[in-house]
């Protein structure tokens, strides 16, 4: 019978039960045939057969989950849940971690009809309405959202729901949540709603949040990025939506020269991701513009206030002069991989060998020049070290 349940073969299950198979057969980790049946194809048929043959509805697996817990984890299993409840399943049963089936539905399946049923059955024992509100918001279910708000929810719950509305770009719901007391700038519990809108390319929602007072340049506690940095990085929206969102943020005055956690500006990040449409509209940072390519200019970069070239890689400190001395292009250091240390680290062995002999590898200049000619870099090296460099030429980095 186990194979029949796992394969979702209701006819074979019926035959096995008729032949005397135990409806309480344990498959593994304490999970019974009934627990596996609740999420299988034609699960409702098998569940009814097993229950009719005496399957124990509230038997728990090794971590305390009952069949109702398992059913609550899968969306579209309302009929299965109804059958389990009709056979006396305990709606407030708790797994070893203290979670009820409703907790599982709120966190895992997000099945709104199932959540409604379990909340109604649990009554006063049900989780606060705020958790269900967050699920309703992420699904754009206005009717359920307003009903739950009417039950009474706190500001934290309203703000969490606002994150969901911002994520799906539901401006009407977002406006209603703000009117009800949600915080446009978010709270300490999670990512600001504006960041969520930016990550999903929801320009209209972002505009609403800005109009409501959201901080345009706020850096999220969880990852330290601004809304603009999030929008440039995202892969969760169509390119046109990303461009629209970035334009909106720039037009609103977003600071495009704030370094992210990898020491990069938004334009460098966009270039590293191959997003030319964003590179075209994002302002270049001062250190991305052409430099003094003369021998004196290079020497100043290498020998100036940057410090020892062997020091740790840090943006605006050692990376740029180190790269100049090594012949690495500015485009590569600031744009290829965003993380300057990792970028140079791609040729770590070459650098280590070169450093051991006090000779820096030199490669041809790439895009976003002008960059020093080999002779000028070599001149700067002579000033720095008082000896001839061992020139090692590399081909250009791939575009």
State the virtual CA torsion across 359, 365, 367, 371 in degrees, nearest 10.
90
Which tokens belong to 383? 């000033």
Rounded CA-CA distance 122/378 in Å is 77
Which tokens belong to 37? 């049946």
Which tokens belong to 212? 């409501």
Which CATH fold would you assign to the domain 1-127? 1.25.40
pLDDT at residue 396 in the model: 33
pLDDT at residue 258 in the model: 86
Rounded CA-CA distance 267/371 in Å is 20
Rounded CA-CA distance 286/289 in Å is 6
In the chain, DSSP assigns E strands to: 26-28, 31-32, 362-363, 393-394
Bridge partner list, 26: 32
pLDDT at residue 261 in the model: 74
CA distances from 182 to 109, 111, 318 (A): 25, 24, 45
Rounded CA-CA distance 32/21 in Å is 13
Is residue 289 a contact partner of residue 363, using CB atoms and an 8 Å limit?
no
- For the chain, residues classed under CATH 1.25.40.20 are 1-127
Rounded CA-CA distance 96/64 in Å is 5
Q: What is the mean pLDDT of each run of 10 residues along the chain (399 residues)?
A: 84 92 92 90 87 95 96 91 96 95 94 95 89 96 96 95 98 98 93 97 98 96 93 92 97 90 79 86 65 41 34 32 41 35 40 36 32 50 58 33
Which tokens belong to 349? 């062995």
pLDDT at residue 397 in the model: 27
Rounded CA-CA distance 241/237 in Å is 6
Rounded CA-CA distance 214/183 in Å is 8
In 93-145, DSSP assigns E strands to: none
Residue keyed to tokens 């972002």:
206
Rounded CA-CA distance 234/256 in Å is 16
Is residue 56 reached through a cis peptide bond, with omega within 30 degrees of 0 on the bond before it? no
Is residue 170 a contact partner of residue 206, using CB atoms and an 8 Å limit?
no
Task: From 145, 163, 250, 156, select the one nearest 199 (Cα to Cα).
Answer: 163
How many CB atoms neighbour CB 142 within 10 A?
A: 15
> Can you give the C-alpha Rg of the chain in angstroms?
30
> Helices H, strands E: what count in the chain?
24, 4
């Amino acid at each position: 019978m186990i194979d029949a349940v796992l394969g979702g073969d209701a006819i074979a299950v019926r035959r096995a039960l008729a032949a005397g198979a135990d409806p309480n057969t344990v498959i593994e980790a304490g999970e019974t045939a009934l627990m596996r049946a609740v999420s299988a194809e034609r699960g409702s048929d098998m569940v009814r057969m097993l229950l009719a043959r005496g399957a124990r509805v509230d038997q728990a697996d090794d971590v305390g989950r009952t069949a109702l817990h398992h059913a609550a984890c899968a969306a579209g299993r309302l009929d299965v849940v109804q059958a389990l409840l009709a056979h006396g399943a305990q709606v407030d049963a708790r797994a070893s971690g203290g979670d009820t089936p409703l907790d599982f539905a709120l966190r895992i399946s997000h099945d709104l009809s199932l959540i409604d049923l379990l909340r109604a059955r649990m009554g006063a024992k049900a989780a606060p309405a705020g958790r269900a509100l967050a699920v309703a918001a992420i699904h754009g279910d206005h009717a359920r959202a307003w009903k739950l708000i009417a039950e009474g929810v706190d500001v934290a719950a309203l703000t969490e729901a606002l994150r969901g509305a911002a994520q799906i770009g539901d401006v009407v719901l977002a406006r209603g949540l703000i009117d009800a007391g949600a915080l446009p700038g978010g709270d300490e519990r999670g990512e600001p709603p504006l960041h969520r809108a930016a990550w999903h390319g929801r320009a209209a929602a972002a505009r609403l949040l800005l109009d409501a007072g959201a901080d345009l340049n706020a850096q999220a506690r969880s990852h330290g990025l601004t809304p603009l940095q999030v929008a440039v990085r995202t892969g969760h929206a169509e390119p046109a939506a990303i461009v629209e969102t970035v334009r909106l943020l720039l037009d609103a005055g977003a600071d495009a020269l704030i370094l992210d956690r990898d020491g990069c500006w938004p334009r460098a990040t966009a270039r590293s991701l191959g997003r030319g449409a964003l590179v075209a509209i994002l302002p270049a940072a001062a250190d991305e513009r052409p430099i003094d390519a003369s021998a004196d200019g290079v020497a100043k970069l290498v020998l100036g206030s940057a410090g020892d070239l062997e020091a740790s890689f840090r943006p605006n400190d050692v990376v740029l002069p180190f790269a100049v001395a090594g012949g690495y292009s500015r485009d590569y250091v600031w744009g290829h991989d965003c993380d300057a240390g990792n970028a140079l680290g791609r040729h770590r062995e070459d650098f280590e060998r070169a450093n051991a002999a006090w000779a820096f590898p030199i490669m041809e200049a790439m895009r976003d020049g002008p960059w020093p000619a080999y002779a000028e870099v070599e001149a700067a090296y002579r000033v720095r070290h008082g000896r001839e460099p061992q020139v090692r030429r590399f081909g250009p980095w791939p575009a």
